[in-house]
Structure 1
């Protein structure tokens, strides 16, 4: 009897050890606190190479990255473009962008990345200053969007373009609330009303976002 109980105990122990571990819950990785995880996950779904391809030739171009955040795109653009103006709204983010510049760019190329403090309704760009204006996950947070788009038009040089990457207005695994997103058709109308010519509207390359390219009417 004693041997039988021992055998039963060992069998139960063996079976419990053979149970598969539960799979970890996958965090979508958009607003994670872990900077390395956020960067890795966003690098996968954001497809920065595809966005930069949509921006066209970047050599000898001045790019304004409006809503640059902590420099996800600015750090990738600075080694290629002539200059990147990384616009943000807080001194804290401006300091982080400056630290990023000093950390990642050699001293001879640090002038290529310029953190610039803007306001919610003014990115503080000079007339005829930039060739490309980039918005990534930013325009939806601007209150008077059409007026803002009109305001920045003089900053574009001749043949300049605006590139907007924002969230598709549908249910997605990651991203902000659907009610806060801008529908693609609404954005296209907004750009036309603000005096831009729609060059391309890509709703397929990125899983969660669209890429819209426009230039200003001459």
Structure 2
């Protein structure tokens, strides 16, 4: 009996010392299946592949349009010269500022600039940025082609635009399929808006495609 009691006491002590479960990281927009919320976006998003598609980031100014919780902005800021993280509400802009202050050394906080935009205007000046990034954002803009035309003057001559969005397929993760922007539709839209297609990648990411374009004749 004493042996059984000792074994029980040891088991109880071990169970009480188990570490707390790891916090769930930001799963991204519109996770439809609750089981997917435990998946690490850092794994399925594969940010390194997206950042490689953006090209050389050193001494570049990046506009992260629809920055959300700062998934990419916080990764880009230590590398790029400056990241303009654009969102549509004061609360999101304030949250991005909190991320900047918490994660960047005081001398480098100027590299991350949260900015309040409008639904039809990111509030970018002409020739202000080298790279424009849209991740899971363009499909939610009411008039995406007009918006692409709107941001074109903000890109410098050698600039590029990188669009990462949900594949138009049935998947457990992401928004409803009929709400998604098909890769071919995006390609046509970019051409009409005045861009030159550089690359379309429908394979590197499990759930999303990556389309890269630059200024026509840039």
TM-score, shorter chain, exceeding 0.5:
yes
The answer to whether the Cα contact below 8 Å between 1:29 and 1:38 also exists between their aligned partners in 2 is no
Aligned to 1:203: 202
Q: RMSD between aligned alpha carbons?
A: 1.6
TM-score by length of 2: 0.83
Question: Where does structure 1 lack aligned partners over 5 or more consecutive residues?
Answer: 1-27
Asked if structure 2 preserves the Cα contact closer than 8 Å seen for 1:202 and 1:211, the reply is yes
1:162/1:30 CA distance change after superposition, 3 Å: closer
Give the aligned partner of residue 43 of structure 1: 42
Q: Distance in 1 between matches of 2:71 and 2:29?
A: 13
> What is the TM-score of this pair, normalised by structure 1?
0.83
Greater than 4 Å deviation, 4+ residue runs: 28-32, 37-40
Kept in 2, the 8 Å contact 1:30–1:42? The answer is no
**Displacement of 1:38:** 5.7
Number of residue pairs matched by the alignment:
187
Q: In the aligned structure 1, how far is the partner of 2:65 from the partner of 2:171?
A: 24
Do the aligned residues in 2 keep the contact of 1:31 with 1:38 (CA within 8 Å)? no
Conservation of the 8 A alpha-carbon contact between 2:57 and 2:79: yes
**Larger-gyration structure (1/2):** 1
Q: Deviations over 1:46-105 (max 9, x none)?
A: 000000000000000000000000100000000000000000000000000000000000
Q: Tell me if structure 1 keeps the 8 A contact 2:63–2:132.
A: yes
